[in-house]
Each structure stands twice: as C-alpha cells, then as structure tokens.
C-alpha cells in the first residue's frame, strides 16, 4: 500500500507513535523514527527491521526549526525523499487553570504546537521542492474538540492543531498536499491518569484484552488507531483533506467543522438592552453543551 513512500513519525518510541511507525513500515514505507528517548527509538527501529521493514532513528526533541529540518534531512539522506510527516510527539500536564504554571503551559505548547508547526513547515518545503505532493498527518485529541477538565494546556495545544489542519489544508491544496488530523482515543500511559482508566491501562499492558464495551465506546489499543494513519498516508486518500478523523477501539468517526448554529439580525445594530431582550427568547435555546467530555481524552 505504501511501497516506495518515506515517512517521518515524531514521538514514535512508544505508544501511539510506535504503532503508527510500525504500521507504516509494515505496509511498505521507509520510516524515520523520532523520539527524545534514544533507547526506545532504537527499540522501535529494531522491532520494525526485525519484521522486515525499513527504519532509522533520529533522536531529539521536536519544537525547534533545527530539529524539524534534521528530521526531513534524515529522511532524504537515508531514503531519498519525504512523502509523509506524522506529528505525533507530545507531552501532558494534568493541571486545571489555577494550577497550571507558566512552565507547564510552555512545555505542552512547545512540543505540540511548535513541534507541529516546525515539522509541518519543513515537510511542506520539501514537498514543494519534490513537486509531487505529500501527506501531513497531525495528531489531535478529543481534548481539543470539546471540554476536558484538568487539561488547560493540552486542550489549548490540541485545539491549535485542529486550526492548523484546516488552514494548511487550504494553503497546501495547490501543491497536492493533503492535511488531516487524527483524533485518537487509546489506552496508553497518557490516559492512565484519567479517573477510572488507570487499572484498565495496567491490565491491557499486562496482556489482557480491552473490554468489549470500551472498544465499542471507542477505546482500544494504539494498534487500533494505526490503520487510519496508513490510509491517510496512502494514495487512496488523495481526495481527503482538512478533516479530523477519530479512531479508537472498534470505532472510526468524523468530527464536524465549527459552524454558526443560530443568528439574529437587527437593523441598525445592537445595544446592551436589545441584546438582553433578545437573548433569552431567541438564542438561549440554542446554547451549546459545554460540559461534554469523553473518557480518555488525552491521546
């Protein structure tokens, strides 16, 4: 399916990133495995090559332009080109607003937002040079789609990634580059801190199957998400761009784009009194539920 393609996957040492890199390699792609932890990156590479795939490790934290350029450069020097950039690397700080420090916020946004931005830019520059399109696959989260209590920094970062997905899809269309976000829900170390899921993560890591009901609800293993990554990286998905595709357990979903749900026009404009008079009778019934959450929101 991906024979001759070359992919970079950031944060690919364990969890979802490892599953993505392994699945891409299993379907024919050559993969640059990135992680800040050199040992686990090399372990992922060894696992891929032992299975007959092609992969190399590129160690380093994402976020800087230099790091992004090094990833793209490694793909080109090792395999001759770049076809897919999957920006999976991320960190998590479980903090509510009042407990989120400047350092927490900066760490999360630097990895997720700056890492996505710099890697995306470096990849698109290479795609433009090659002249035959490419694939940007960004990684979002339900936390960036709706409320996720205790995830001030993470929600901000993942919401920003969704914005980048839609804007880049428009900007890159003329290049033949598709840009999509995957919204994964999987039982990884990142969700072990979510109330009620710690024991489930521990059981699954010990080899027990994911309960059927959780799978139907959209929670499974990283391997359940990987097929969507492979599909979006393939030529079969050349007409799909600007989308947020949810994946987890037995479910695949498509998230909607934000749109106005109601509007009111008043000739001559509005005053505070006219807004106060209109809102309860006209717009109040259309208010959106701000309490919606999803179990296991962090990726």
pLDDT in tens, 81-109: 999 999 999 988 888 999 999 999 999 99
**Mean per-residue pLDDT for 162-180?**
98
- Of residues 22, 25, 5, the one with CA closest to residue 14: 22
Q: Tally the domains of the chain.
A: 1
Measuring CA to CA, which residue among 60, 73, 7 is closest to residue 229? 7
**How much of the chain exceeds pLDDT 70, in percent?**
96
Query: Phi/psi of residue 267, each to 5°?
Result: -55, 130
Residue 286 lies in a domain: no
CATH classification at residue 87: 3.40.50.720
20 is catalytic: no
Can you tell me the distance from the alpha carbon of 101 to that of 271, in angstroms, rounded to the nearest whole number?
Answer: 39
Residue-wise burial string across 92-129, b where 16 or more C-beta atoms lie within 10 A, e elsewhere: bbbbeeeebeeebbebbbbbbbbbbbbbbbbbbebbee
Does residue 278 lie within any of the structural domains?
A: no
Q: Does residue 295 fall inside a structural domain?
A: no
Sign of the torsion formed by the C-alpha atoms of 27, 29, 35 and 40? positive
Task: Identify whether 118 is part of a domain.
Answer: yes
Q: Is it the case that residue 121 has pLDDT exceeding 70? A: yes
Average pLDDT, the chain: 93
Q: Determine, yes or no, domain membership for 290.
A: no
The confidence band for 297, taking pLDDT boundaries of 50, 70 and 90, is: very low
Residue 175 counted as domain residue: yes
Mean pLDDT on 223-236: 98
Residue 48 lies in a domain: yes
Would you say residue 44 lies in a domain?
yes
Q: Among 162-176, 199-213, 231-245, 267-281, whose mean pLDDT is lowest?
A: 199-213
Residue range(s) defining the domain that contains residue 121: 6-255
Of 20, 154, 231, 290, the catalytic one is: 154
Q: Tens digits of per-residue pLDDT, 34-49?
A: 999 999 999 999 999 9
């Amino acid at each position: 399916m991906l024979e001759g393609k070359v992919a970079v996957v950031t944060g690919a040492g364990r969890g979802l990133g490892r599953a993505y890199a392994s699945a891409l390699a299993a379907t024919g792609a050559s993969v640059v495995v990135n992680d800040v932890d050199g040992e686990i990156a090399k372990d992922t590479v060894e696992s891929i090559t032992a299975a007959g795939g092609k992969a190399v490790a590129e160690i380093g934290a994402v976020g800087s332009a230099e790091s992004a350029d090094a990833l793209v450069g490694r793909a080109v020097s090792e395999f001759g080109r770049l076809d897919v950039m999957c920006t999976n690397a991320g960190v998590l700080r479980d903090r509510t607003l009042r407990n989120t420090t400047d350092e927490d916020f900066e760490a999360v946004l630097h990895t997720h937002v700056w890492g996505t931005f710099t890697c995306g830019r470096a990849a698109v520059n290479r795609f433009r040079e090659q002249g035959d399109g490419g694939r940007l696959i960004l990684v979002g989260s339900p936390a960036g789609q709706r409320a996720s209590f205790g995830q001030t920094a993470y929600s901000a970062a993942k919401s920003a990634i969704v914005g980048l997905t839609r804007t880049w899809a428009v900007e890159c269309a003329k290049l033949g580059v598709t840009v999509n976000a995957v919204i994964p829900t999987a039982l990884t170390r990142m969700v072990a801190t979510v109330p009620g899921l710690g024991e489930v993560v521990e059981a699954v890591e010990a080899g027990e199957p994911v309960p059927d009901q959780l799978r139907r609800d959209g929670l499974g293993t990283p391997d359940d998400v990987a097929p969507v990554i492979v599909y979006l990286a393939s030529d079969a998905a050349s007409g799909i761009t600007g989308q947020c595709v949810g994946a987890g357990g037995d479910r695949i979903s498509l998230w909607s784009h934000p749109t106005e749900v109601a509007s009111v026009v008043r000739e001559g404009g509005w005053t505070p009194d006219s807004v106060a008079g209109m809102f309860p009778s006209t717009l109040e019934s259309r208010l959106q539920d701000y309490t919606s959450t999803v179990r296991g929101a962090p990726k």
